[in-house]
Amino acid sequence: MKALTEHWYRPRPWLTALLAPLEGLFALASLTRRLLYRTGWLKTVRLPVPVVVIGNINVGGVGKTPVVEGLLRQLRARGVAVGLVSRGYGGSHATPTRVTTDSDPAVVGDEPLLLAATGAPVVVGRDRVAAARHLLEICPDTALILADDGLQHYRLGRTLEIVVLDAARGAGNGHLLPAGPLREPVSRLRTVDAVVLNEGTGVATCAPLALPQALPQFRMRLMAGALESLAQPGRQATPADFAGQRVVALAGIGHPERFFDTLRQQGLELSRTLAFPDHHPYSEADIPAEAGAVIVTTKDAVKLQCVNRARLWQLPVRAEFSPDLADWILKRLKRDHGR
């Protein structure tokens, strides 16, 4: 699998040729499904409130979760009654389930649990339509729904589509799965309403992606906060506080190198980095015994309740958009739908 993902961003021509038949099958299945919805053979369900989809055309970590978290906080700060529906990847839930800060990540997934901390109502469900309906039942005052990672879930009607892209990695080698990282071709960007470029901290590994000229573009930067102790909530630290310690960074996210680079840019000297698969279920064995301090992402932190947290610290980040993405969404909804 590692060789395959490396090929997505540093392509090997022979592997592209070898995977071409599988890529063709994936492209045919994806196009057929989309056409079935566009022609009405498969039905799209419209809800009584606007739905804004935050998704991506490629797999892997592009920074979608901080985009959603940032939007939830900013919309709520403007007095908008916003709710969220999510697939709840990695959770065992069988029916639409309300997520609270006390929910079990093994049931609802890690990302929804992190997003519930914004105070917005969050419902997970494999069927996004059923999840959205459940959200409106339990929170009837909801005026706007964000759909996390629902770009390809065409059964759920949407008012706006916003795609998140990693500015450094772009569309990789430009091929569809499994020959490349794309769920849909780059041409799909011509039909979305806006794109958010996650500038991150990394160096570009692919050619810059040529975006449609008329497509509204927003840039996102992740601003790191103070390190927070998982064992003693409220206790904070600076990178200087870890001088002389053996510091290990641990991440089970789509693009862990971005997190490791962020820690180094904060001035932390890392003796070791550990990258786990996205949505990894942690156990005590995953925490290196030799570490004086272990620093994790906030997404990983919600799954580390079952281990000794004495040496664990998390690095919270917040998204900053340029220009103001929440303001643009509200103006578009008001202009197009009078909401």
Annotated binding site: 58-65
- Please state, in angstroms and rounded to a whole number, the distance separating the CA atoms of residues 62 and 68: 12
CA 326 to chain centroid, in Å, comes to 17
210 dihedral zone (left: phi>0; alpha: psi -120 to 50; beta): beta
DSSP annotation of 318 reads E
- Please state, in angstroms and rounded to a whole number, the distance separating the CA atoms of residues 11 and 159: 36
First to last CA, the chain: 46
Number of neighbours of residue 237 by Cβ within 10 angstroms: 14
Alpha helices in 10-160 (DSSP H): 13-38, 64-77, 105-108, 110-116, 128-138
DSSP secondary structure, 46-79, as one string: PPSS-EEEEE-SB-S--SHHHHHHHHHHHHHHTT
Question: For residue 308, which of 328, 325, 291, 287 has the smallest C-alpha distance?
Answer: 287
Paired tokens of 62: 């592009």
Residues in the annotated binding site for ATP: 58-65
